[in-house]
Amino acid sequence: MARVFVTRRLPGSALDRLSAEHEVEVWPDQLPPGREELLARSRELEGLLSLLTDPVDAELMDAAPALRAISNYAVGTDNVDLDAASERGITVGNTPDVLTESTADLALALILGVSRRLVEGDAYVRRGDWRTWEPELLLGRDLHGATVGIVGQGRIGQAVGRRLEGFGCELLYTDLGVGVSLEELLDRSDFVTLHCPLTSDTRGLIDDEALRRMKPTAYLVNTARGPVVDGEALARALHAGEIAGAALDVTDPEPLPGGHPLLEAPGLLVLPHIASATHATRERMADMAVENLLAGLAGEPMPNQAN
């Protein structure tokens, strides 16, 4: 029986299966454990089930000499130093391919939400401002027949494309030199939706120059990774009216601190990183994370091993 620390409660019953085989401590708070808390618990840990909010670096691994397996409750491993784990013989797992459809659904919801001004409309009614129907009240933009630029032609980008075909959209793709150039996509698109991984090439991909290329009537949507977009550049573009609006499920940093320029920007719809937040998806992620950890602690290859 191994000692395991889980950095947050997870939906579903997967942790019950983990607890049946190992000694498991689950962090009880809504906010993640602080750095000192993680380091303090690491000394006797053999297994760690982490979230994207937990930095799992070489220092943490060195503080956990018995650590054998890390299971990351996330599609990516941005928060885990994979090289450091491999050097120390620690297996790392993640939960890939599980949130494609849920994320694509949310991307479409963001496109419609920002272009049809749904949040503004809800607030307008709740404030009691709605007194009569008006021809020019809260005018938005049509999605049907629009040109949509999809940055990233992986599983999620393709799933978004399939949904947009039903709206009769013209689709432009760009991905690692495949499809149209990013410049052409930005020039022509009524909506630009981001579905690329975070790499050295994509960090800050949407900057001042990229935003200036977009139409003043166009919208930017990001359900990929926050740092793909330069947040301050986006705030400047929204304030200047260089684009019509933006809808973000991810930001840099997360969460946005009070007073961040984006929070004061017009035409912005922002969500707290909930693309995978459906019961079915999050429970499946928990199942996969536990399956990875059980295998790693048993000395077996993880079903979804990242290193």
CA dihedral 287, 290, 292, 297 (to 10 degrees): -160
Residue 307 in domain: no
Please check whether residues 210 and 190 belong to one and the same domain: yes
pLDDT reading at 189 higher than 90: yes
* pLDDT number for residue 176: 84
Residue 306 in domain: no
The pLDDT confidence band at residue 150, using thresholds 50, 70 and 90, is: very high
Q: Determine which one of 170, 254, 264, 300 is catalytic.
A: 254
Q: First vs last Cα of the chain: how many Å apart?
A: 24
Q: Which residue has the tokens 């494309």?
A: 161
CATH label of the domain that carries residue 121:
3.40.50.720
Strands 147-151 and 170-175, how do they pair?
Answer: parallel
- Catalytic site includes residue 273: yes
Please state, as a whole number, how many other Cβ atoms lie within 10 Å of the Cβ of residue 134: 9
Please check whether residues 88 and 225 belong to one and the same domain: no
pLDDT reading at 209 higher than 90: yes
pLDDT reading at 177 higher than 90: no
How many angstroms separate the CA atoms of 253 and 118, rounded? 25
pLDDT reading at 76 higher than 90: no
The half-sphere exposure of 51 on its side-chain side, counting CA atoms within 13 A, is 16
What SS3 class is residue 23?
A: strand
304 closest CA partner among 20, 73, 14: 73
Biggest CA–CA distance in the chain, Å, is 68
Please check whether residues 225 and 188 belong to one and the same domain: yes
Q: 16 CB contacts (<8 Å, ≥6 apart)?
A: none
Both tokens assigned to 260: 């961040």
Residue 302 in domain: no
- Catalytic site includes residue 144: no
Residue 305 in domain: no
Burial label for 210, CB within 10 Å (0-12, 13-18, 19+), is buried
- Catalytic site includes residue 22: no
pTM given for the model: 0.91
Q: Determine which one of 17, 155, 260, 273 is catalytic.
A: 273
Tally of structural domains, the chain: 2
Residue 123 in domain: yes
What SS3 class is residue 69?
A: strand
What SS3 class is residue 73?
A: strand
How many angstroms separate the CA atoms of 244 and 238, rounded? 7
Q: Determine which one of 3, 68, 195, 225 is catalytic.
A: 225
pLDDT reading at 304 higher than 90: yes
How many angstroms separate the CA atoms of 165 and 233, rounded? 31
Residue 154 in domain: yes
Which domain does 181 fall in, by range?
Answer: 100-270
How many angstroms separate the CA atoms of 281 and 267, rounded? 30
Please check whether residues 46 and 132 belong to one and the same domain: no
